[in-house]
Each structure stands twice: as structure tokens, then as C-alpha cells.
Amino acid sequence: MPIATLNGIRLNYDVTGTGPLVVLVMGTGSPGRVWRTYQVPALVKAGFRVATFDNRGIAPSEESAHGMRIEDLVADTAALIELLGGPAHVVGTSLGARVTQELALARPDLVSRAVMLATTGRPHPLASSLSKGEQALQQQGVKLPPEYAAAIKAMLNLSPATMESDESAQQWLDIFEYSASVTPGPGVLAQMRMDRSRNRLADYARITVPSLVVGFADDRMLPPVFGREVAEAIPGARFVELEKCGHYGYLEQPEAVNRTIIDFLTSVNA
């Protein structure tokens, strides 16, 4: 994967396929390669050129351990689109969805269509409390047993439907247990500290980019009602709620998610 100096930082990115450009923006603490399991192959098969990248905070992109703002991530994404000869369709999940919304507002010239998965436009006490608690654990050097951390992460991020099968549940728990054993880098901690306290719903009334918001029915982190609020705030935006999906719905029900994204990106009337 090439590394370019964009917006004054190192940005690690990858491009696959040919056709109209789609840029995928990942959520907090995760590398861009997560998209490559399901979304990149489906989009390339559908005739798109697909770019994934590691947000600042995720090595080998600039870790920016001193801190960052969502405006920084928006400017990074804009710089990548310009490098790749945009405009582009932009798809983001969770924090990446909020970056997508802000990019559509700030730089509509760079965004052909915007897709936001598992998003929100305002803070919520539960999400804020969870974030503060996770930061406190890190600051105090408290490390939960990996098995327990894995179980908590599964309950927070996955649909009960995903966990019904013993085999599926164990596979996810194994993945989460391994990730829990890895100490977060300084860039990930900086992402976790980002200010998410502003209510941006009123501002989204100025978004003119054709937009799709996808809510995941079993999302405990960002329930679909928050995504519906974003869709109602953006003029003409569509809202779709997908069943049997938690916060990681794009990994739990990839066929449904990919079909929803591709149908929107290829529709004549967005």
C-alpha cells in the first residue's frame, strides 16, 4: 500500500479496480483493510475503483498522538480524493460516517454521493459515558481479561442473530479476544479522545449531496433512530434499516449491506 504526504501527514492508502471512484472511511480504532473482506470485492465487481485508507491515528498513517479533530479527518479524506482525481462516492461507518457527513457539508465538490452506515449527528449520554469509561481504563492502566473484554465487545457490537450459532459466536469471540490482547497505540487513543460533543443535525440541513443513511436494527452503540435523525436532517436523504445487524453490520450481513450501497450508487435517481 502506498503512503502519501497529504494534508501535512502520512496517509496509507490502497486502490483497487477501475471505474468511478469510491472512497471507504473506517470507524474508530480500525484499519482501512477491514473493508477489503467484503465491501471492496463487491464494489470492484460492480465496476468501481475503490480506495481504502488508514485514518490518521492508525499506523502506518500518521498517529497524531497529540490529538486530532474530526475536521482533520475530513481534510485528510478530501486530500486523498483530490490525489485520486475525484470527485468520489464516499462511504463511511460509525466515526467514518460522521467524517462522510462533514465532508459532504464542507466539500460537496468532492462528493458525488454519500453513504453513512451506523451514524449519528449528535451526542448521547450512554455513548459518551462508554467512551469516557474506556478512556479512563486506558489512563489508569486497567486491562480487562481478554475473555471478558471479548464478551463485552461482542454484546455491544453484534446482533443477537449473529451470536445464535455456537460456531459463529466462538469465531467472533476468538477475534475479539485476540484484539483485546493488543495494547492500543497512541493514535488509537487519540481517536478515542476526539470531541464528539457537538450536535450537528441543524447544520446537516445544508448538505446538498445525494445521501443514503443505513441503520442497523440491533445496533446498541448507535441505534438506528440516530441514523434516521441524520437522514431527516439532510434534504432528500434516504434511510434504510437492515435487520439482524449490530454495529458491525457491514461484516455481519455483508451481502445485504453491499447490495444496499451498490443499488444507491448505481441508481439513476439518488
106-157 pLDDT per residue, tens: 999 999 999 999 999 999 888 888 888 888 888 888 888 999 999 999 999 9
Check if the beta carbon of residue 111 is closer than 8 Å to that of residue 87. Answer: yes
What φ, ψ does residue 65 adopt, rounded to 5°? -60, -20
**What pLDDT score does 131 carry?**
85
Residues 164-221 have pLDDT tens digits of 999 999 999 999 999 888 888 899 999 989 999 999 999 999 999 999 999 999 999 9
Is the pLDDT higher at 226 or at 139? 226
**pLDDT of 46 strictly over 90:** yes
Question: Which of 256, 246, 254, 261 is closest to 38 using CA atoms?
Answer: 254
Confidence of residue 80 (pLDDT cuts 50, 70, 90): very high
**pTM (2 decimals)?**
0.95
**What pLDDT score does 268 carry?**
78
CA distances from 63 to 4, 166, 219, 240 (A): 14, 37, 28, 34
**What pLDDT score does 180 carry?**
87
**What pLDDT score does 216 carry?**
98
**What pLDDT score does 141 carry?**
83
Confidence of residue 1 (pLDDT cuts 50, 70, 90): confident
Question: Which of 87, 91, 92 is closest to 112 using CA atoms?
Answer: 87
Record the cell numbers describing residue 161, joined without a space.
Answer: 442473530
Confidence of residue 30 (pLDDT cuts 50, 70, 90): very high
**What pLDDT score does 142 carry?**
84
Catalytically active residues are: 94, 219, 247
**What pLDDT score does 270 carry?**
67
Whole-number average pLDDT of the chain: 95
Record the cell numbers describing residue 182, joined without a space.
Answer: 493488543
Distance CA 4, CA 61 (A): 9
What φ, ψ does residue 22 adopt, rounded to 5°? -120, 130
Alpha helix stretches (DSSP H) within 122-195: 125-139, 146-157, 166-180, 186-192
